[in-house]
Amino acid sequence: MLGLLIYDSGLHVPSNIHTGFSIAQYIPKYAMIIFAVLPTVYILGLLSLGKRHDLQKIILIFGICTAMIGMVDGGLFSIPSLLGFAIIIGIFSIKKPFSPKNLIKPSTVIILLLVIRVLIGIAGSNPEYYEVTVLGGHGDVQLTGFNVTNEQIVGNATIITVSSKLDEMSFFNQVFKEYGGKYPVFFVSWNIYSYL
């Protein structure tokens, strides 16, 4: 959504920075709510500083900033979101006089979110092959230098299945070098096991 806003405003962004404009057409319009949510989170964050000690204010400002970064880049399960969320609920849970018991509930919430994140990563992972989905290629998509095991066209998408001999980061970087600038949108399936 921010990429769409940047494009509509006419701002120039270097080509090596991906603004996400190419995928904006595939995102539902209600995602524009981010433009209302971000300032709301910021204003409520400022109001929540209230009568806190200076050190708590600094930590809370850091938590709010990282949570907002996570909202824009990565969602609820991203590292910035989880870190910001942990800081915010941790600071809100601190009572006078301080007791470690006050941190049990926020710690449980963050641990639960981390467990859900890992479970989603494992459930959505495919260790057998990578799947590269290219939108707008109209069937003339080629992926050279990889062990391509299958290629099919489904509507406006070309789906290429590739052997998973490379780790995920190396594979993604090589695909990005080959496809960057050629096709408006492409997705690569993930393989969390490749990091082990």
- Are the C-beta atoms of residues 145 and 175 closer than 8 Å to each other? no
Radius of gyration of the chain (CA): 21
What's the pLDDT at 139?
A: 60
Class of domain 129-195: alpha beta
- Are the C-beta atoms of residues 80 and 69 closer than 8 Å to each other? yes
pLDDT band at 66, cuts 50/70/90? very high
Domain boundaries, the chain: 2-123, 129-195
The model carries a pTM of 0.65
What would the pLDDT profile of 79-124 be if each residue is shown by its tens digit?
A: 898 899 888 888 888 877 878 888 888 889 889 988 998 898 888 8
- Are the C-beta atoms of residues 60 and 42 closer than 8 Å to each other? no
